Structure 1
Amino acid sequence: MNITQPLHKALRECPGALAIVDGERRQTWRQLVSRIAGLAGGLQSLGMRHGDRVGMLARNSDHYVEYLYGVLWGGGVVNPVNIRWSAREIAYSLDDSDTRILLIDDTFIALLPAIREHSSALKTIIFVGEDTAPEGTIGLERLINTSAEVPDAKRHSDDLAAILYTGGTTGQPKGVMLSHNNCYLGAIGASLGAPRPPRQVALHAAPFFHVAGMQSMFGLSIRLGTHVVLTGFEPALVLHAIEQYRVAEIFLVPTMLRMLLDHPDFRIRNLSSLGSVRYGASPMDVTLLERAMKELPGVDFSQAYGMTELAPTVAVLPPHYHTEEGRKAGKLRSAGIPTPLAEIQIVDPTDNEVPNNTVGEIVVRGPMVMQGYWNKPEQTAEALRGGWMHTGDAGYMDEDGFLYVVDRIKDMIVSGGENVYSAEVENTILKLPQVELCAVFGVPDDRWGERVHAVIKLRPGSDLNEQQLTDHCKDHIAGYKCPRSIEFVDEMPISSAGKLLKFKMRDPYWKNQDRRVG
């Protein structure tokens, strides 16, 4: 298996069909593949060899699709950079993976000096923008137009395809290594879980640097569909694009879905072409889901459950269980059934499988499971012990094989579809000399699903306000990781072993919630 296979199929089966739309730009499959082959040649001329990492710091565009396929066509490994990270965090991911080439667009070019300051690996910058390439960078168009189109390197199977950085429980991001098999079969498995017709028009509003956005793109290419790309999620633009391009399918994080339903344009746009909405990446409350199904009666809804390490989907709640008839089965609160390529079991702390309807840790086995964490053999061995990916999520399987996710074993917060690891935020806060103890966890939030909440105990005689704490966090970590609510307390619950009893602080917030995680 290799991720570039759909490009070869497209050249044979539908070379003149519309492959991608980005604003005024249109490309057929023949045109897109030509640019991909040219970019691959340009990257090779800049020193990219098989297995070398190439990063991209940019908003969604047709150029992002060219980057993903161009690097892989040329034999490299993609390292899509989280656009919400600080310069320090970006530099860490570049240096950790020895990423020497970075594509960057107009939106983030101002960050480049700070990234260069903190990164020792970065050598070559490719400017992806409409303006003239700044000094010290190479223009994307010039690179493609002056480079020879090269044959597909056709790296495949267990060859490394992507390193996707996700938050680390020790305070540093971890690079998830996904092979060609992982990405290709992950996309196939998700498609089998909720089949959709070939050659449909799909809208990409989720960011391509995120595994869900990237795999949605790969999955649509496998079906030779038309990619409609928006730079980011703006409700009015999404609704307009669905109407303008007759979009048939879209992937949305629940917060995005809520914003679409709430927008005044929702009532005036013609959304009759929309046939499929897939949702996931953060909790979806049943009230919102039922509202969406009522407001979009002709649309098939399906839920996807997974994580970056699983490329990313391993369970799907198919459209049938969202229908009026299907809801009689009572499965709407579940995360669905394992995809045809995924094995899921629930285990106790000693990794023994537990009976149905017993809560334990969700573990997964199958061809979509990551190769490991880049340069982190101990964490890899721990996560993949016994041949199963240990998700850190707590859940159970019912007697019909449906998976229910009830909480998180690891202290991870999913806010607006982004993973936030509490240890990283806590480590940042504890750098402040005024702070004696802190606990960070997720609490329910109507807009974001969860928000980052911090409980702080100050040292005696110290003074610190919310604004000072927030400013400090923003200097060190991405804004979405910073606490959105802060609570100062005089005492914090501590166990006899001296550990903070975080659950005692967190549980009151979730007491009346029927679902803790999506």
Structure 2
Amino acid sequence: MSKPFLTQSLHAARRQHPQRGATVFNGRRTSYEDFGSRVSCAANGLRQRGVGAGDRIGILSLNSDRYLEVFFAVWWSGGVVNPVNVRWSAHEIAYSLDDCGTSVLFVDERFAALVPELVQLSSCLKTIVYIGDSAAPPGMYGYEQLIAENQPCDDAQRGGDDLAGIFYTGGTTGLPKGVMLSHANLYGAAMSGLAEGLVDEGDVVLHVAPMFHLADGILGIMGFMRACTHVVVPRFATELVLAAIQDEGVTNTLLVPTMIQMLIDDPQLSRYRLGSLKRLLYGASAINEAVLERAIARLPGVEFVQLYGQTEMSPFVSVLKHERHVGPNNKLRSAGRPLVGIEAIIVDSDGLELPRNQVGEIATRGAGAMLGYWNKPEQTLAAMGSGWIRSGDGAYIDDDGFLFVVDRLKDMIVSGGENVYSAEVENAISRHSAVLACAVIGIPNERWGESVHAVVVIRPGVTAPSADDIRQHCQSLIAGYKCPRSVEFRDSLPLSGAGKVLKIELRAPYWRDATRRVA
């Protein structure tokens, strides 16, 4: 029996719609026939440079048409993609490359200057392929040269439980974890989304969210399965998004709530023709209800669809469709119901299922459930040893089967759609010579949902640093979005009888008047 493999959709689209537009980016356009040919030649180029079945290939780049090509070229060659978080520091990037043994890295213009430092920090990185538009810098191999010098090759057709990608998330211990997802995981997750009607045949899909995020990755896989045209903008900017929707007739896109807010509040919004847009997916963090109501009013005829999930589930778990966004029976405060093929239950601390309307932890299973964390068997067992993936989110399911997220059990902050684990920030702060102890929490932020707030205790007898000193220290160690936006100095931290920091006490004054417990 044939096993599902991710390049299957490209074969089908190339066979059935060879002249249909596959990608649009900065004036470049490729048909499905051209896209498939370029992918096949690039895959052969990787093989000629020693890439074998299961080898890990990284990509550090802003969004582009070539980003999509690299994904498929890696799978065509038999390799495994490692999409690198573009907001990470060089130390964080090097850790992720070495953790899973990534030897080849694709980079664009934006990150080419970082390569010498990465080569110095990483023990695994051997080959750099440059996917920018300018000439390849010294020591890097040009992507177009890679394609031009190689003939098309046969598809490796690795599939099923074969590893397809390693997607790094923040770590509760301060180190990122590599979520291992198979071809069957990603294929199954995409099929669940298609069954829910998230993408239709021949849609024009706009890629705005960073492509290293799995949410955009699954949108892309769904789009290829339905032979869609993929319009790509390098980054979120309201003028780029609005122009792309107008000029390319975009029908579908996925945004995080902060992007939606900036888009609908742009004073130039009314100048653009946005009638082609029929479906706007959003997720990564909850949306402010006032913003959502304003968005629905300012984009009439657009279906708003909320998606809740986690990387470990490839990534979608539940969906709140447009019809439950509006009218007297709306469920705006919920995260929707599980997608087709996904189960979600609420469990207690022992893993036992709780009745309806009782708060516990979300546990999920389905085709998208990860293989585990790369080289972390203990954390894998803790997350999925029961056969269900524990989310770390506190929630309940109401009598209608809708999921309501009410609190975050794992120590994580979601700011602007990015996950920030407190341990990562605390580890960075604690390396400052003047810091005796610290705790990091998320506090409400009107624009970003949550912002990172640090509570710091200074060592006796030393010169106290300023809040700016703490932030600058963190910026040398971790990504900027993880650094504390605010810093509070105290003489001590509240502790439990077991000596654990009582973060619930630290959070209380900030969240007391908030309408939602988590953003």
Q: TM-score normalized by structure 2?
A: 0.98
Partner-residue secondary structure (3-state), 1:51: coil
Alignment of 1:431-510 (within 5 A): 431-462=431-462, 463-510=464-511
Identity of aligned residues (%): 50
1:104 aligned to 107, 125, 143, which one? 107
User: Counterpart in 2 of 1:249?
Assistant: 252
2:64 aligned to 45, 61, 66, which one? 61
Unaligned runs of 5+ in 2: none
Partner-residue secondary structure (3-state), 2:50: coil
CA distance in 1, matches of 2:215, 2:198: 17
CA distance in 1, matches of 2:155, 2:114: 33
CA distance in 2, matches of 1:415, 1:472: 20
Alignment of 1:104-503 (within 5 A): 104-324=107-327, 328-462=328-462, 463-503=464-504
CA distance in 1, matches of 2:225, 2:380: 30
Say if 1:283 and 1:516, in contact at 8 Å, map to a contact too: no
CA distance in 1, matches of 2:483, 2:149: 44
CA distance in 1, matches of 2:393, 2:194: 23
User: Counterpart in 1 of 2:37?
Assistant: 34
Partner-residue secondary structure (3-state), 1:26: strand
Q: CA deviation at 1:194?
A: 4.0
Tell me which amino acid in the other structure corresponds to 2:353.
E
Q: CA deviation at 1:517?
A: 3.3
CA distance in 1, matches of 2:436, 2:55: 43
CA distance in 2, matches of 1:40, 1:210: 23
Tell me which amino acid in the other structure corresponds to 1:47.
G
Say if 2:323 and 2:330, in contact at 8 Å, map to a contact too: no
Say if 1:193 and 1:315, in contact at 8 Å, map to a contact too: no
Q: CA deviation at 1:476?
A: 0.3
Say if 1:190 and 1:314, in contact at 8 Å, map to a contact too: no
1:514 lines up with 2:518 in the alignment: no
User: Counterpart in 2 of 1:75?
Assistant: 78
* Number of aligned residue pairs: 515
CA distance in 2, matches of 1:323, 1:408: 27
Dislocated runs of 4+, deviation >4 Å: none
CA distance in 1, matches of 2:405, 2:420: 18
CA distance in 2, matches of 1:150, 1:206: 31
Partner-residue secondary structure (3-state), 2:476: helix
Tell me which amino acid in the other structure corresponds to 1:453.
H
Q: CA deviation at 1:376?
A: 0.2
CA distance in 1, matches of 2:90, 2:414: 22
Tell me which amino acid in the other structure corresponds to 1:253.
V
CA distance in 1, matches of 2:321, 2:197: 5
Tell me which amino acid in the other structure corresponds to 1:291.
R
CA distance in 1, matches of 2:14, 2:88: 37
Tell me which amino acid in the other structure corresponds to 2:225.
I
Over aligned residue pairs, what C-alpha RMSD do you find? 1.0
Say if 1:253 and 1:282, in contact at 8 Å, map to a contact too: yes
Q: CA deviation at 1:102?
A: 0.5
* Cα distance, 1:194–1:304 mapped onto 2, change above 3 Å: farther
CA distance in 2, matches of 1:210, 1:499: 33
Say if 2:186 and 2:314, in contact at 8 Å, map to a contact too: yes
Tell me which amino acid in the other structure corresponds to 1:33.
G
CA distance in 1, matches of 2:222, 2:330: 29
* Cα distance, 1:195–1:478 mapped onto 2, change above 3 Å: closer
Q: CA deviation at 1:217?
A: 0.9
375-384 vs 488-497, greater mean Cα deviation: 488-497
Tell me which amino acid in the other structure corresponds to 1:58.
S
Unaligned runs of 5+ in 1: none
